[in-house]
């Protein structure tokens, strides 16, 4: 019986060790918004760099989950209604955000309400020496 309890305890602890943490989610999202391939796209309608980056909240990302910075200001995480009401452009939509053990996958798009052109980013990441690293990046204009 003691062996069974020990096995259950070890399995529970391994689940905690490899579980997605808010800290991991925050570090990975910061890597996403800092992608060099994204920077030239983060401009407003007049071509000036954005004052503040906006990310749409959804089931993959909630406002209370992360606190990241871009352009020296906190990234705004708001719902689609707010994006439409305030006519915020461009904004990021996180479609996939999965952390499994020492690997992660993120798929997001940069959307612009005034254009049918969207930019897609697909990242594979790995936790190496306690630091998240991008191991593969695919981009696509649609």
Ranges of the chain with pLDDT below 70: 1-20
4, 54, 75, 92 from 48: Cα distances, Å: 62, 15, 17, 17
For residue 70, being part of any structural domain is answered with yes
Q: What is the pLDDT of residue 22?
A: 81
Q: What is the pLDDT of residue 29?
A: 95
For residue 103, being part of any structural domain is answered with yes
For residue 107, being part of any structural domain is answered with yes
Q: What is the pLDDT of residue 135?
A: 98
Q: What is the pLDDT of residue 3?
A: 52
Across the chain, the runs of DSSP E, i.e. the strands, are: 54-56, 69-70, 73-74, 76-78, 91-100, 103-111, 119-128, 131-141
pTM for this structure?
A: 0.80
Distance CA 126, CA 91 (A): 26
For residue 123, being part of any structural domain is answered with yes
For residue 8, being part of any structural domain is answered with no
For residue 3, being part of any structural domain is answered with no
For residue 6, being part of any structural domain is answered with no
Number of domains in the chain: 1
- CATH number of the domain that 29 lies in? 3.10.450
Q: What is the CA radius of gyration of the chain?
A: 18
Q: What is the pLDDT of residue 61?
A: 81
Range of the domain at 92: 20-141
Q: What is the dihedral of CA 22, 24, 30, 32, to 10 degrees?
A: -120
Q: What is the pLDDT of residue 15?
A: 41
For residue 88, being part of any structural domain is answered with yes
Distance CA 95, CA 98 (A): 10
Decide if 28 contacts 106 (C-beta within 8 A): yes
**Cα 69 to chain center, whole Å?**
12
């Amino acid at each position: 019986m003691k062996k069974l309890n020990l096995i259950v305890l070890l399995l529970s602890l391994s689940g905690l060790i490899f579980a997605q943490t808010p800290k991991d989610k925050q570090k990975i999202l910061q890597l996403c918004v800092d992608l060099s391939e994204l920077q030239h796209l983060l401009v407003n309608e007049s071509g000036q760099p954005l004052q503040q980056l906006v990310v749409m909240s959804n089931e993959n990302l909630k406002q209370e989950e992360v606190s990241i910075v871009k352009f020296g200001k906190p990234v705004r995480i708001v719902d689609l209604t707010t994006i439409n009401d305030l006519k915020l452009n461009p904004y990021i939509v996180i479609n996939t955000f999965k952390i499994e053990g020492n690997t992660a996958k993120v798929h997001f798009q940069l959307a612009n309400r005034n254009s049918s052109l969207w930019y897609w980013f697909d990242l594979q990441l790995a936790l190496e020496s306690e630091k998240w690293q991008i191991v593969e990046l695919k981009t696509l204009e649609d």
